[in-house]
Chain A
């Protein structure tokens, strides 16, 4: 079992829909990261969370430390949101990142 699990693996939505991607982890963490990767492109940090909720534009990230669960929400989705979204954690025992397998999001016009 992976230490970081994401769901769903693939997600297709229509433009304008509200999207949720989930992340569960099984280790103690000091921080959780949401990353975005476009095809053939680099990796961009969207959020870093250690508690609560953060919002940036149409993106919202939440984390529940007790339940070891985080969600990434996209409101009013747009085709340019199509990308792979990756959840990653910094474990309390170390400094490196441990990644989920990623969620491939496709938003159709």
Chain B
């Protein structure tokens, strides 16, 4: 049973480009959480999704950021018109239930904006 899979592991984008980060949850998990870790800072919640639904996006920046978790395929975190301040590690976690029964994390995507 593969763990939470994130790709790419590393992503370099120029300012103004779009970044798409993918997360495939563990088999049987229908709840996905995205967290961001800025350099020298702790992890912060961004968004919580179930299949085809955004449940809580209170941690998402109001502009340029969006997330989806379609019926088929991975969850996508999309950042439009990236800026240097978006450079961070983005982690996805999945759960079979609404509560984090155990924290299953992916390896993260390290986004660098140049």
Contacts and interface: CB of A to CB of B under 8 A. Distances in A.
Interface stretch (B17-25, B67-75, B103-111): B103-111
Given A42-B107, A42-B108, A43-B108, A48 B42 contact: no
Interface residues on B, range: 20 to 34
B103 A35 contact: yes
B99 A43 contact: no
B8 to A, nearest CB: 14
Interface of B: 31, 33, 35, 41-45, 48, 55-56, 59, 91, 93, 95, 98-108, 110
Given A42-B91, A43-B103, A98-B45, 14 more contacts: A31-B101, A45-B102, A45-B103, A86-B42, A86-B43, A88-B43, A95-B56, A95-B95, A95-B100, A96-B33, A96-B100, A97-B35, A99-B35, A100-B42
